[in-house]
Structure 1
Amino acid sequence: MTTESDPAFCALHVDDDEDIRGLVATFLPREQPELEVLSVSTAAAALDRLDAADCVVSGYHLPDMDGLALLRRIRAVYPGLPFVLYTAAGSEEIAAEAISAGVTDYLQKSTGREQYALLANRVQNLATQYRTARAMDDQQERFRRLVEHSSDVVSIVDSAGVFQYLSPAARHVFGYDPDDLVGDVGFDYVHPDDLDHTVETFLEAVADPAYRPVITFRFAHPEKGWVVLENTGRNLIDDPVVEGFVINSHDVTDRVERATELERQRDRFAEFANVVSHDLRNPLSVAGANLSLLERTEDLSRVAEVRLALERMEAIIDDLLTLAREGDGLTELSPVSLAEVVDAAWRSVDTEAARLTVDTAAVVIADPGRLQQLLENLFSNAVSHAGPAVHVTVVDSRADADASEDPVPATGATAATRGFAVTDDGPGIPPEDHERIFEYGVSSSTECTGFGLAIVRRVAEAHGWSVAVCESAAGGARFEFQGVRVLDDHPPNPDDGGDDTAGD
């Protein structure tokens, strides 16, 4: 069949009479210039050329089959292709049989040019209708395939928000089979905190067909939990074809999470700026004031004050750089002995007369360097706040209530989610400060920068762990880490806080 861009219509003429074929091929284009005639003498030849035809004009008596048999063969392949029976055999029986067989038009051969004008007009009209119908069918098929293969969900709801139709993408984006959602109220899947705004926007769009809202809300996915959808709506309830409210939904969960992370990083940088402007300004002021006194009085005792201020500035800068480096990114995680990392961290810190008890055989899945940094900061914090003779203990913690198991990529072994704790016997931390101590620059000691515990929390969160502080059995501080992946062949010690293994 000719394409839509081709202005000519093709009439496939089948007749065993060479003279008739010549007359039709001559006069039809004269009467209708947009018509082209393709002439063949047999039904078999016609069946081979159907893809080029917009209309078939056939005689009744053909060498290999009659015209009605040809019609039935054509209908099996191209049910909508117009078929005009053009024959001199004009008996009532043939006409009745042709109509029963589904012929599009029936025309008897006669003498005179008028018959060709009539035939040309009928063929032109039938070919135009067929080409238009095919174009509409193609457009509908194109739209159907676009909807079916789109990564966005196209859904139709009624004025009450009940699903009437969902495109196949609902299976991937929503997590449900489209047919399973038909008949459900869409609002039942919206997050409670987003429901009022969603319903209000929908009702406004139903009342005003010109309003085309774009709204974002969280949707209950059966496997992923709450996914964030960006939805564009259009009111076509009064459209007799659609009769519904059309919604295009796109999953923007990743985009929202990236935006949230960027916002968190911006807040973090703002905190850094506040710390730099506040905490560095104080030792700078001390150093500047003492230098001025030194210049005027040449009192060398002022040098000690300047040195202390500079050393504090150096400590603050070191901790700021550490905090920046100890961000969310980790190197490759691997199974490491918690006791060995504890020992390495203890040896790298000036612990003076402090004592250490290690009561764990756990092998944890962690970044060894970051884990050591976390422990070093906790040990330094204990010595600074509890005194040089503090007793620090590292123990296995009770397993999470929702402990899960999953494979460890590096080993193929199974890891369970548990925890560990670092405790001391110092004065402890007031309950009202349990959350505040993890903020940047917060410290009860004038000798500390206030970044140590902030680094502890950052490293823990980077591993996916939670960290909380409470009172230890000895009345000191207990830092509890949960969500730690531990190799399952090293179960937690049921004795939480024993003193069997010690290293001073």
Structure 2
Amino acid sequence: MTDRIRVLHVDDDPAVVEAATSALEQEHCGITVETATSVADGIERLDSDAFDCVVAGYDLPEQTGVEFLDAVRKRAPDLPFVLFTSEGSEAAASDAISAGVTEYLRVDGGAEPYARLAHTVVDAVERTADNIEHAQSTRRERAIEELHSTARAFMRATTEDAVAQVTVDTARTILNMPANGVHFADGDSLYPVAWTEQVEELIGTPPVFEAGEALAWQAFETGEARVHDDITSSPDRYNPETDIRSELILPLGDHGVLLIGSSEVSAFDDTDVTLARTLSVHATAALNRLDRDRQLREEREFIDQALDTLDDLFYVIGTDGSLRRWNERIPEVTGYSDDEIGDMAVADFFPDDEHGAVEAAIDETRTTGRVTLEAEILTADGERIPYEFAGTRLTDADGAVAGTVGIGRDISQRRAYERQLERKNERLDEFTSIVSHDLRNPLTVAEGNLELAKTECDSDYLDEVSRSHERMRALIDDLLTFARAGETATDLESVTLANIAEECWQTVEGDRATLVVEADRQIRADTAKLRRLVSNLLRNSVEHGSTSAQAPSDRTAEHDEENLTVRVGTVEDTDRHGFYVADDGPGIPSEDREQVFEGGYSTGENGTGFGLKIVQRIAEVHGWTVTATESEAGGARFEVTGLEPA
């Protein structure tokens, strides 16, 4: 038996009421009885409180017991109703049974009628509870099956608003909860997106709930479902004058809430709550799916946009040799439409003489993981465009080969530059051959004849000729060096500045000068060219750092060649990295510091004017910059910058 059974006994006969109450409460300690003397009083008690069974007489003031039964059935169809009367007839009994009475007992219908009444009440309550539980179980099972079938409708929904509408329709038709609606979150608000007609009948157009406002926001913020049997008892209700009494509030994840209301108190039992929770789970899953789909679509669009901005070709080749994905650059370059490209094999983009190399490169990519290939693309118009392709093996989640992904770069300009460089090198070879052979050979003959002339004649003019020959030979050497310095720096390796400076110092006639290496660093350079650059700078300091170019009155011991110091160190400013060669000689006038790099410019009697020009050319082919300035000692300082940071 239920722990507690509450009985409402409606009768205006005090003796019957007293006897029935005593019998019911004495026979079963779990029964409590409350009484009413009229139908109006009984209905008021039923509307304000909950009872497990109603016992009523037949001849009541203003109405009969059967009429009272009709009023009760309209309010609570399953509530047990026992008609317990001292008066009546077979017609009255028939009317009561037709109206849906649970039991019909006569007060004078045999021995111990009150004991029978107690057993009848208990039995009716238990049978009703069993019937309700069975009905609820059946309803729950049927509703769950229908909810699972509704999952297909959720899967077909392509927008959040469509999901909201499916949720509202399902709650109304399957869960039999006609007053319901969905609110979506938008920043600090919950705004209505779908609701039933019954909602408008109860409250009008659903309101927008702001942050911290109403019970709906509390459930959304905490993520916990709320069941309110009577919201009029909650101080946080949105509308104090609302006709809503019971309410279910179920969060839909971060998306919003599902609101289900009723004008009755305690309208939702455990089955209702369970089914509503199940519906909210389906709706939340559908909204999460749409959210993921939107994020994936946005990410895909972002990636496609990024790939389409490339000047290079981007492609994914499947294991069957067809293009599975490509950027807009491919149809722009090839002249084929996207539809045509989708039906083409990779080999269709290359001339016949490239097929073997392309197929071999794809096979190598799948086996070794990466390959680089130069091949010419054949466009729809028959044009051949040279490209460099870098392909990488593509694998799936299990590590199996899924194809090749790669980039193709137009190397037309590089090919043209290479051809131009080849022609330039050919002209350079021709020039150096003329300088090296066609000029040196006559000079060698002239020098030989001069030596013979010196044996027959002793003249100062012959010494002048000899000095001219020496200058010519120096010019030839510098011209060759200058020409070769213009070649690209291709043989790059890492060397130390200190080692290079010490090696170059050995080739400089600096017996009366001192080299000081103040700092060291690693330099990535063409070693032979770097040696020439450093040697020229050191030789320039030694040759021009003495007093030879000064007037006698300007000569001091401080600038005497015997005391000349040449310093080599590093430049490590915020945005400049490199090295310097500086001396404590007379320096270079500020107005001449740009001219010193011009070809043929020299202040020395025997200089060719190409030493610093060669320095500048070697720096340029490395991507460096050389500038002339003043050293801390007032002498000349040459800075070579633009090197990679140490």
Fold match by TM threshold 0.5: no
Q: Compare relative contact order (CA 8 Å, sep 6+) and give the higher one, 1 or 2.
A: 1
- For normalisation by structure 2, the TM-score amounts to 0.31
**Whose radius of gyration is greater, 1 or 2?**
2
Q: Which has the higher helix share?
A: 2
